[in-house]
A and B are shown apart, each in its own frame.
Chain A
Amino acid sequence: MSTMAEVIEPTAGTISAADLASSQHSRATVGDVTVADPRMTCRGVDVWYGAKQAIKGVSLDIGKHEVVSMIGPSGCGKSTFLRCLNRMNDTIDGCRVTGSIKLDDVDIYDAGLDPVPLRAQVGMVFQKPNPFPKSIYENIAYGPRIHGLTNNKAELDDLVETSLRKAGLWEEVKDRLDQPGTGLSGGQQQRLCIARTIAVSPEVILMDEPCSALDPIATAIIEELIDELREHYSIAIVTHSMQQAARVSQRTAYFHLGDLIEVGETNDIFTNPKHKLTEDYITGRFG
């Protein structure tokens, strides 16, 4: 592995020693991982795929009404970390998560906690737009229907419209709600997926490189949308594009080889990175 990994900066921030007890091998994070008004709090999260450790003692808060972006080179574990937040990693064989991840002070990895309602609270938008091969209407209505969020057809219709409006897709599709969602363009599909996520009124929305399969115009529309969504939701977004992170997020977390290297205000990270690795990545020396 790289020798520069040996460069360890002094710890800053306010996490207690107990929080870090489970992760002896991890590098300490530079910057303040906590926020005043957190929606989700993660402390000392380790993730193993079989014998391989993918995430090493990561602690991070996701505040209310903020967008946290996670950046870092490929294979740094940012997507893995994101997928821990709604237990999507449960579906992967041999994946083991330790540490504590709390949503509104409830440990989501508690043995008694059901991941199904959790995923209604923590929605997810995936890298590749993945609408169901059903009508646009059904795509949005599916979540509310299985959770029983509406009492009748009129309410469901309303919810579908509201969700599509919030995702900025209503005007484009209102005349063809019965047509397959897979027939939309890539950017529209991704907004459809965002609308589908919004429809179950989650508290947190996780986005795993939501624009990597889209063209610049569609990307701009989605970025604008993310900024609007911040008003109602907490958003964690993984992105490969540093410009995107700079544009949409209030805080940025830089991951490197399973470690959370540095967290801070997005402006600070991009203008004045404290850790050498962060600086190297941001200035394009590797990644």
Chain B
Amino acid sequence: MNSEAGEGARPRRTIDVVNASLKRRYAKERRFRRLGATAVALGLAFVVLLFADIILKGYTAFQQTYIQIPVSFPAEAIDPEGTRDPEVIGDANYMAFIREGLRGLFPEVTQRRDKRQLKGLISVGAAQLVRERVLADPSLIGSTQALWILADDDIDMLVKGHIDRHAPEGARRVSDQVIGWVDRLEAQGRVAKRFNTIFFTHGTSREPELAGIAGALMGSFYTLLLTLILSFPIGVGAAIYLEEFAPKNRWTDLIEVNINNLAAVPSIVFGLLGLAVFIGFFGVPRSTPLVAALVLTLMTLPTVIISSRAALKSVPPSIREAALGVGASPLQTQLHHVLPLAMPGMLTGTILGMAQALGETAPLLMIGMIAFIVDIPGGFTDSATVLPVQIFLWADSPERGFVERTSAAIIVLLAFLFVMNLAAVLLRRRFERRW
């Protein structure tokens, strides 16, 4: 390294020293680049693996098996008086009609045990779906229709190939006899996979074929809406006060440190807090979007405040000076000049906070969102569940039908998160630094 001139050896020029070390320096750089590229590749590989797994498992849930059965609606059984009174029509035993039609397809089935197996081909919820159909169109009464009837989840799994036909009969959920029936129906063209509207229009259910995410989606929607309404004004207000108006002293330092710490508090702690304070002390009804939003507001507030403060900090002080210099009051300076410039950054932070809230599960388990709720919530104080908790519940269910529904629900959740993050990125791009 050190080339002392005049020590006998000829003095080395700087350029020689530089050239000598150049190769080593470049090798180091190449190593570093390779390391970085490997890290990125590994990360990407895991993401691809995750997405591939979820999508491969979940995409089949967007289709649902239906069986075409000729169902007759005898007028004397449904509406003997001919009043077309919805209550009378609704009281009829539609399951009996469906079973009748099914038995018509398999006249050879006479044994009581076999009859029960035959009945198992269709979903227990099929009668309700048919009832709704007749109520919507009473002219069906007295006619015979070839209706597509919702199949049971075991049949659905069999048709989708999720049940191994070569396994010993006792080890699978459908018997050889049922497989024979389904094959026969398929040969007749009476089995079809159609788009699974139930998944998007129904609440959850014990039966996979009747389970949907509409309830969880609405729950998430109400929760997020209220979280946004609460956390955005509070967070932005706190950020503006702390950044622009608060005196810089020990107290504001303490507050700042605490806000940063709150952002790192495990979310389950917020759940416990919500349970103790909101439900225990204030008596907010449990497992409602209201209490969930309160807890998630606590959780997202630090994120919103921190990002809003960063957005305010990034507005150049010269803008504030310009406004103050023409005699704007501090509040006018904020509202007319600083806030509009900081808003994109604040919105970006808020959207990211909302995305975090949308995916949050743990604290909601503590405040009763884990309850099994079939009804789709219609407001902030209805019992509800949210998407991630729904995923958690379904993942816990043993039926094979719930495996694909779990993945499908994850796909829906990820789609929402993706859209929200995209919105944040677009906002940032669109409004980036105009001064």
**Any B CB within 8 A of the CB of A120:** yes
Residues of A168-190 contacting chain B, CB below 8 A: 180, 182
A182 CB contacts on chain B under 8 angstroms: 434-435
Cα–Cα distance between A180 and B433 once the two chains are bound (Å): 13
B190 within 8 A of A: no
Whether B327 contacts A193 by the Cβ 8 Å rule is no
| Least distance between A269 CB and chain B CB atoms (Å) | 28
Partner of A133, one of B247, B321, B328, B435: B435
Known contacts A126-B318, A130-B318, A133-B434; is A91 also within 8 Å of B324 by CB?
Answer: yes
Closest to A90 in B: B324
Contact yes or no, A142 B336, CB < 8 A: yes
Chain B, interface size category, equals: 20 to 34
B433 to chain A, nearest CB (A): 9
Tell which of A133, A142, A180 touches B326, judged by Cβ atoms closer than 8 Å: A142
Instruction: Find chain B residues with CB under 8 A from A118 CB.
Output: 327
Question: Which of A91, A116, A133 is B320 in contact with, Cβ under 8 Å?
Answer: A91
A130 and B319 in contact, given A146-B332, A182-B434 (Cβ under 8 angstroms)? yes
Chain A, residue nearest B247 (CB): A93
Cβ B322 vs Cβ A193 within 8 A? yes
Q: Which of B319, B322, B328, B332 has the most CB of A within 10 A?
A: B322
Q: Is the CB of B325 within 8 A of A132?
A: no
Q: Does B78 contact A (CB under 8 A)?
A: no
Counting CB contacts under 8 A, is B248 at the interface? yes
Chain A residues closer than 8 Å to B328, beta-carbon distance: 116, 142-143, 146
Q: Please state if B337 and A119 are interface contacts (CB–CB under 8 Å).
A: no
For the complex, give the distance between the alpha carbons of A91 and B199 in Å: 58
A147 is an interface residue with CB less than 8 A from chain B: yes
A119 near B327: Cβ-Cβ < 8 Å: yes
Question: 0/1 per residue, A234-273, Cβ < 8 Å to B?
Answer: 0000000000000000000000000000000000000000
CB distance from B316 to the nearest CB of A (A): 8
Q: Which residues of B contact A128 (CB under 8 A)?
A: 318
Interface string of A122-153 (1 = CB under 8 A from B): 01111010111100000000110011000000
> Are A88 and B321 within 8 A (Cβ)?
yes
User: Is B319 touching A132 in the complex (CB atoms < 8 A)?
Assistant: yes
The verdict on A116 contacting B326 (CB below 8 Å), with A130-B318, A182-B435 known, is: no
Whether A196 lies near B326 (C-beta < 8 A) is yes
Q: Provide the residues of chain B in CB contact with A117, threshold 8 Å.
A: 327
CB pair A116 B329 closer than 8 Å: yes
B322 to chain A: which residues have CB within 8 Å? Answer: 126, 130-132, 193, 196
Interface positions of B from 333 to 373, Cβ below 8 Å from A: 336-337, 341
**For the complex, is B323 an interface residue (Cβ under 8 Å from A)?**
yes
Q: CA of A193 to CA of B332 in the docked complex: distance in angstroms? A: 18
CB-based contact B320/A132 at 8 Å: no
Contact residues, B217-247 vs A (CB, 8 A): 247
Q: How far apart are B342's CB and chain A's nearest CB, in angstroms?
A: 12
The winner among B318, B319, B325, B332 for most chain A CB atoms within 10 A is B325
Which residues from chain B contact A130 at a C-beta distance below 8 Å?
316, 318-319, 321-322
Of A119, A120, A196, A197, most buried by chain B (CB within 10 Å of CB) is A119
A→B interface (CB under 8 Å): 86, 88, 91, 93, 116-120, 123-126, 128, 130-133, 142-143, 146-147, 180, 182, 193, 196-197, 199-200
Report, nearest first, the 3 A-B pairs whose CB atoms are least far apart.
A120-B327, A130-B318, A143-B326
